[in-house]
Amino acid sequence: EAGVTQSPTHLIKTRGQQATLRCSPISGHTSVYWYQQALGLGLQFLLWYDEGEERNRGNFPPRFSGRQFPNYSSELNVNALELEDSALYLCASSHGQGVGETQYFGPGTRLLVL
Amino acid sequence: DQQVKQNSPSLSVQEGRISILNCDYTNSMFDYFLWYKKYPAEGPTFLISISSIKDKNEDGRFTVFLNKSAKHLSLHIVPSQPGDSAVYFCAVYAGNNRKLIWGLGTSLAVNP
Closest residue in A to B93 (Cα) is A100
How far apart are the CA of A45 and the nearest CA of chain B, in angstroms? 6
- CB < 8 Å to B37, chain A: none
How far the first Cα of chain A sits from its last, in Å, is: 37
Amino acid at position B62, single letter: F
Q: What is the DSSP string of A49-77?
A: EETTEEEEE-S--TTEEEEE-TTS-EEEE
Say which amino acid occupies A56.
N
What are B40-52's pLDDT values in tens digits? Answer: 878 999 999 999 9
- Which is nearest to A29 in space by CA: A58, A66, A68, A80? A68
Confidence of residue A1 (pLDDT cuts 50, 70, 90): low
Mean per-residue pLDDT, A46-57? 93
- CA torsion through residues A51, A25, A63, B101, sign: positive
State the nearest Cα–Cα gap between B41 and chain A, in angstroms.
Answer: 7
pLDDT band at B58 (very low <50, low <70, confident <90, very high): very high
Mean pLDDT of the A25-43 span: 91
For residue A97, pLDDT beyond 90: no
Interface check B49 vs A, CB under 8 A: yes
Collect all residues of chain A within an 8 Å Cβ-Cβ radius of residue B54. Answer: none
Q: Using CB atoms, which residue from A33, A92, A102 is nearest to B49?
A: A102
pLDDT band of residue A42 (cuts 50, 70, 90) is confident
pLDDT given at position B28: 86
Yes or no: say if A36 and A46 are a contact pair by the CB < 8 Å rule: yes
Residue A51 buriedness (CB in 10 A; 0-12 / 13-18 / 19+):
exposed
What mean pLDDT is predicted for residues A54-80? 96
Distance of CA A10 to the CA centre of its chain: 14
| Most B-contacting residue of A43, A48, A50, A101 (CB-CB within 10 A), to test interface | A43
B57 touches chain A (CB under 8 A): no
